[in-house]
């Protein structure tokens, strides 16, 4: 959607310098931008790239100069750029209307403006809020509930009873409400422990492609408002994830883990069962939290088993020197043997 620089400045609440009549229709990185694209500059080291860009309009931090372009001044250029992108490039519809191939139970309740794509299956008792879009081949199990303005990309799956609040995004292949991994040993066999609890995802949560979220065993699995989960994340039964927490790809969260708000988990992190990560903590990529352990609020940990970042960096530096140290020890052993030969 095209707008003038003046219109964009008013929408963003930015001060503008330069030609307000310039038309902006997209966003891009400086190197690949067209004349009608918007770019952003939040650091002096990027000024040269921005100056060479074909883009004629830039969001720029206070105190920086960029000749020959229309400038939108913003204290946080990256955030302002993201808001501009949402306005300039609204999401492409996932579905429009109700496709004739969709299978919708007579007891399902669809609010105004719900769109359902080809070959979707919606079982009995399902409730879907206004403006929600359901992509092709999605499956919504009996009595599942979806709020308003949600977006379910093709082949997302909600098991029976799963609940999503408003503006939740599920990417392709995401599964919400599958059985947790719980068994009881008896007579050399493993007997399935009941997996009959709930799963609730609050408003403004985004779930990446092929991410799986188990229902609670007897209680519930809960993901709080604003949390963002990357692709290929696994969340086990009875897990609690706090508001605005972000979890990167290939992370595994074991059963009954409690994660606070504003936590950041790096890719391939592993959290053992019943551990707790308090508000604002940071878990580094490939870090491992042992079962039952606690990561305190605001701490940064790395490594397996996870330890404070400074300790990890110190130990990692020594680890890199192991070949050198082994050689030194070998030479010292030879000297000792030469000075003190063993008696035959």
Which of the listed CATH numbers 2.160.10.10, 3.30.200.20, 3.90.400.10, 2.60.40.60 matches domain 103-309? Answer: 2.160.10.10
**For this structure, is 171 an active site residue?**
no
C-alpha dist (Å) from residue 151 to 26, 78, 93: 22, 25, 9
d(CA 111, CA 123): 15
The pLDDT of residue 342: 66
Q: What residue segments make up the domains of the chain, in order of their start?
A: 3-88, 103-309, 310-339
Q: Which of 77, 18, 67, 19 is nearest to 47 (CA)?
A: 67
Neighbouring-strand partners of residue 23: 4
Collect contacts of 178-187 with beta carbons under 8 A, ≥24 apart.
178/212, 178/213, 178/214, 178/215, 179/214, 179/215, 179/237, 180/214, 180/215, 180/216, 180/217, 180/236, 180/237, 180/238, 180/255, 181/214, 181/236, 181/237, 181/255, 182/217, 182/237, 182/255
Q: Are strands 70-73 and 15-17 parallel, antiparallel or unpaired?
A: antiparallel
Q: How far apart are the first and last CA of the chain?
A: 90
pLDDT, tens digit (0-9, with 9 covering 90-100), for 271-313:
999 999 999 999 999 999 999 999 999 999 999 899 988 888 8
Secondary structure class of 82 (helix, strand, coil): helix
Q: What band does 321 get if pLDDT is binned at 50, 70 and 90?
A: confident
Q: Up-side HSE of residue 169: CA atoms within 13 Å toward CB? A: 14
- With b for 16 or more beta-carbon neighbours within 10 A and e for fewer, the 270-289 pattern comes to bbbbebbbbbbbbbbebbbb
The pLDDT of residue 22: 95
The pLDDT of residue 203: 98
The pLDDT of residue 343: 60
- 70 contacts 16 by C-beta, under 8 angstroms: yes
Q: DSSP class of residue 339?
A: H
Which of the listed CATH numbers 3.40.1390.10, 1.10.1060.10, 3.40.190.10, 3.40.50.2300 matches domain 3-88? Answer: 3.40.1390.10
The pLDDT of residue 256: 97
pTM > 0.75: yes
Residues 6+ apart with CB under 8 A from 87: 1, 3, 8, 11
Q: DSSP class of residue 217?
A: S
- 183 contacts 165 by C-beta, under 8 angstroms: no
C-alpha dist (Å) from residue 20 to 4, 7, 47, 58: 6, 8, 21, 12
Mean confidence (pLDDT) of the chain: 95
The pLDDT of residue 310: 83
Secondary structure class of 334 (helix, strand, coil): helix
In 10 A of CB 44, how many CB atoms?
Answer: 11
Spot the catalytic one: 46, 171, 234, 237.
237
pLDDT higher than threshold 70 for residue 222: yes
- 143 contacts 160 by C-beta, under 8 angstroms: yes
Which residue reads 């996870």 in tokens? 306
């Amino acid at each position: 959607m095209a707008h003038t620089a003046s219109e964009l400045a008013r929408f963003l609440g930015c001060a503008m310098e330069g030609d307000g009549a310039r038309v902006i229709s997209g966003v891009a990185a400086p190197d690949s931008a067209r004349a009608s694209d918007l770019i952003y500059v939040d650091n002096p080291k990027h000024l040269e790239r921005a100056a060479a860009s074909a883009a004629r309009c830039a969001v720029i931090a206070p105190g920086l100069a960029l000749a020959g372009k229309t400038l939108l001044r913003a204290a946080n250029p990256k955030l302002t750029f993201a808001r501009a992108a949402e306005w300039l490039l609204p999401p492409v519809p996932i579905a429009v209307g109700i496709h004739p191939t969709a299978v919708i139970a007579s007891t399902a309740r669809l609010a105004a403006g719900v769109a359902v794509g080809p070959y979707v299956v919606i079982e009995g008792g399902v409730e879907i809020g206004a403006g929600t879009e359901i992509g092709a081949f999605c499956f919504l199990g009996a009595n599942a509930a979806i709020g308003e303005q949600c977006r379910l990309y093709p082949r997302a799956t909600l098991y029976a009873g799963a609940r999503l609040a408003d503006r939740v995004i599920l990417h392709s292949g995401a599964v919400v409400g599958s059985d947790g991994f719980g068994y009881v040993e008896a007579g050399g066999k493993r007997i399935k422990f009941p997996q009959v609890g709930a799963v609730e995802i609050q408003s403004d949560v985004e779930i990446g492609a092929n991410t799986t979220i188990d229902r609670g065993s007897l209680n519930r699995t809960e993901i709080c408002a604003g949390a963002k989960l990357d692709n290929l994340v696994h969340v086990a039964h009875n897990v609690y994830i706090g508001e605005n927490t972000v979890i990167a790809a290939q992370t595994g969260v074991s059963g009954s883990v409690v994660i606070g708000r504003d936590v950041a988990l790096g890719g391939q992190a592993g959290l053992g069962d019943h551990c707790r990560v308090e508000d604002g903590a940071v878990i580094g990529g490939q870090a491992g939290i042992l079962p039952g352990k606690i990561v305190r609020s605001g701490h940064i940990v790395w490594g397996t088993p996870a330890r404070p970042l400074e300790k990890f960096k110190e130990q990692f530096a020594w680890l890199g020197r192991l070949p050198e140290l082994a050689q030194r020890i070998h030479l010292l052993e030879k000297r000792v043997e030469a000075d003190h030969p063993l008696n035959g």
